[in-house]
């Protein structure tokens, strides 16, 4: 009998790749979408999915969607560093996750995966390396997004205490082909347009396909009540932008930013957004974090299934190739071939 999986955020970055891998494994897929959700990442497979219109704040649509479901992949969330989006982000990330957990308990779902983030590990001034054992601290270095993802994780742990079979993954910065100009694909757009500046910070990066592959391995295992940091490699932002530039035949950025420049940048970006009505690229939170030196350990995930991460250089080569093709063909989105 075919397994039945339900995905929230199925039209989004990670959710769409999870769906592709599950279809390859012949799962029956049910996925939640809003009427306004862009379908670019799933356009070619949309007919193989049972779409339910609604959102994770609508408990009625969630209850209908999760009837007779074996597995739930909870990928829906808002990632934002714009103060105007904070209230909405809290509702979606915290209240929405609570709704998914509660209905999973009520409907007897066999297993649930919560897509979290390394942001939920927190930030502490005296700690530069993070893994699953890092204790959350109420630090001023934590972004509003980080707080909402931490609280969302607490909802999952609460569900586990109440009998839910669930697991959590904490990906680092996720790279790969997406809707161009959205999420981390803005890195490629910025370099393409001639990025001159780069932050001095370091962080973790991971291929979107690795996040999807590991998530499914985890769900198909007997593992429960565990969390895993998913991180391919720790790179500096300069290394990232330089590699993207080389693959796009552009000049790498040459000017390292400092605290004064970052403060000027986020204020100028705020002023520009007031006049242009465009989405902000550099907020105060972003300016604060991009010059920090953070690294992330993924030994636990590597050892669990002898899991092999895709080299970030390979991810960038493939993504840049698709970016250039998309520019030529005026394509809105691209999808990397499955590994």
296-318, pLDDT tens digit by residue?
999 999 999 999 999 999 999 99
| Residue matched to tokens 């520019």 | 327
Report the pLDDT value the prediction gives residue 84, as an integer from 0 to 100. Answer: 79
Six-digit token string for 5? 């999986």
Would you say 167 and 227 are in contact if contact means Cβ atoms under 8 Å apart? yes
Tell whether domain 4-175+205-232+295-309 is in CATH 3.40.50.720.
Answer: yes
Which helix (H) or strand (E) element contains residue 247? helix 237-247
The answer to whether 192 and 248 have CB atoms below 8 angstroms apart is yes
DSSP lists the bridge partners of residue 175 as 207
Any alpha helices (H) in 66-222, and if so which ranges? 86-90, 96-107, 144-161, 186-192, 208-220
pLDDT at 242: 97
What residue ranges of the chain have pLDDT lower than 70?
A: 258-289
The secondary element (H helix, E strand) that includes residue 301 is helix 299-304
**What secondary structure does DSSP assign to 42-100, as a single string?**
GTTTGGGEEEEE--TT-HHHHHHHTTT-SEEEE--------GGGHHHHHIIIIIHHHHH
pTM confidence score:
0.93
pLDDT of residue 286: 55
What are the phi and psi torsion angles at 29 (to 5°)? -110, 130
Close Cβ partners of 323 (under 8 Å, ≥ 6 residues apart)? 177, 180, 185, 188, 192, 248, 334
Give me the pLDDT at residue 287, please. 53
Name the token pair of 42: 């799933």
User: For 27-46, how does the pLDDT look when each residue is reduced to its tens digit (9 = 90+)?
Assistant: 999 999 999 999 999 999 99
* Token pair of 286 as six digits: 């972003």
Tokens encoding 45: 């497979």
- Please give the order of strands across the beta sheet that includes 28-33: 49-53, 28-33, 4-8, 71-74, 111-115, 166-171, 227-230
């Amino acid at each position: 009998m075919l397994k039945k999986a339900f995905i929230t955020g199925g039209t989004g970055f990670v959710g769409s790749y999870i769906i592709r891998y599950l279809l390859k494994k012949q799962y029956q897929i049910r996925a939640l979408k809003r009427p306004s959700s862009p379908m670019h990442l799933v356009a070619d497979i949309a007919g193989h999915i049972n779409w339910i219109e609604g959102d994770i704040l609508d408990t009625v649509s969630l209850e209908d969607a999760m009837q007779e479901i074996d597995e739930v992949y909870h990928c829906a969330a808002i990632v934002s560093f714009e103060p105007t989006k904070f209230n909405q982000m809290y509702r979606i990330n915290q209240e929405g996750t609570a709704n998914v957990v509660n209905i999973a308990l009520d409907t007897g779902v066999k297993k649930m995966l919560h897509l979290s983030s390394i942001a939920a590990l927190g930030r502490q001034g005296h700690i530069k390396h993070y893994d699953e054992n890092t204790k959350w601290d109420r630090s001023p270095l934590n972004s509003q997004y980080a707080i909402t993802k931490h609280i969302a994780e607490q909802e999952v742990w609460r569900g586990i205490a109440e009998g839910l079979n669930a697991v959590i993954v904490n990906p680092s910065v996720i790279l790969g082909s997406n809707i161009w100009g959205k999420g981390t694909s803005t890195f490629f757009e910025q370099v393409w347009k001639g990025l001159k500046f780069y932050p001095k910070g370091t962080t973790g990066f991971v291929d979107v396909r690795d996040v999807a592959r590991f998530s499914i391995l985890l769900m198909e295992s007997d593992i429960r009540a565990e969390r895993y940091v998913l991180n391919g490699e720790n790179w500096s932002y300069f290394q990232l932008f330089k590699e993207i530039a080389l693959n796009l035949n552009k000049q790498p950025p040459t000017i390292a930013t400092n605290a004064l420049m970052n403060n000027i940048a986020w204020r100028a970006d705020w002023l520009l957004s007031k006049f242009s009505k465009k989405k902000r690229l550099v907020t105060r939170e972003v300016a604060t974090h991009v010059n920090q030196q953070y690294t992330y350990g993924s030994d636990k995930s590597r050892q669990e299934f002898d899991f092999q991460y895709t080299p970030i250089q390979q991810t960038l080569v493939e993504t840049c190739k698709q970016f250039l093709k998309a520019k030529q063909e005026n394509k809105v989105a691209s999808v990397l071939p499955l590994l």
